Amino acid sequence: MDTGWSYPINYLLLFFALLQFALLVRTFSRGFSAPATLWLLRFLLLGMCYDNLVQGSGNWFIDAPWYAAANVPRFVLHASVLPFLTLFGLSVMRAAGVALARKPMVVGFCWLFTLAALGWGLYHEVYLLQLGPRPALGVMKLGSVSSLPPVATILTSALALPIAAAVWKASGWQWFFLGALLIFVVNGATGARPWGFLAGNCAELVFIVSLLATERRFRPAHHR
């Protein structure tokens, strides 16, 4: 075990988990009543928090008999929640006044894309999941041994860009697009590198903040 890196990086992952938990708690500051878009972001935050908590605990518990099973919900939450970002984007486009978002063909495409991404993600990332050691920077963690990239995640992130661009053009709200662009570029550029998971965590944190700000900006008046 690389004691030179493990504890600082482990604590950094746990710090990310703490920040995400704090953001999750803050979304309930006005109670449990909220539109579906905010509930989606709550589940995203839950998944991100759990992911960092489990990975950050790996150096202490990776040999525990329960640790492998504790990793499975990471992939379940990721595969079952992230595809719905397309419908989040569709909802924001409508609230921003993007006329295209009300056309039946566009609505149908967004729903079909979401269902396809959901089905593929659950099949590839959950049903076919095989875990193996993925140590990096002294962090002893488990990950998928599949050589196939998370196609559903990549395509969902790519589709978020034109959706967010349409919101920016229609309303002048640029933060959705900038957050989506950041995470797409960072994950694409660093995903294969040993330290890519840290860069991805930073980008995820910025992205979820941009999504929370976007949801608040376009939230229906009766939910404010």
For 162-174, write each residue's pLDDT tens digit: 999 999 999 999 9
Residue 4 has pLDDT above 60, yes or no: no
Residue 139 main-chain phi, psi, to 5 deg: -90, 120
Residue 174 main-chain phi, psi, to 5 deg: -95, -10
Question: How much is the mean pLDDT over the chain?
Answer: 92
For 76-92, write each residue's pLDDT tens digit: 999 999 999 999 999 99
* Percent of the chain topping pLDDT 70: 95
The residues pairing with 143 across neighbouring beta strands, listed in sequence order, are 132
Beta strands in 97-149 (DSSP E): 131-133, 142-144
pLDDT score at 2: 42
DSSP 136: B
Mean pLDDT of 47-63: 95
Distance CA 126, CA 116 (A): 15
pTM of the model: 0.92
pLDDT score at 3: 42
Q: Quickly tell me which residue has 């149908």 as its tokens.
A: 108
Contact criterion met (CB below 8 Å) for 77 and 54: no
Distance CA 57, CA 121 (A): 25
pLDDT score at 138: 84
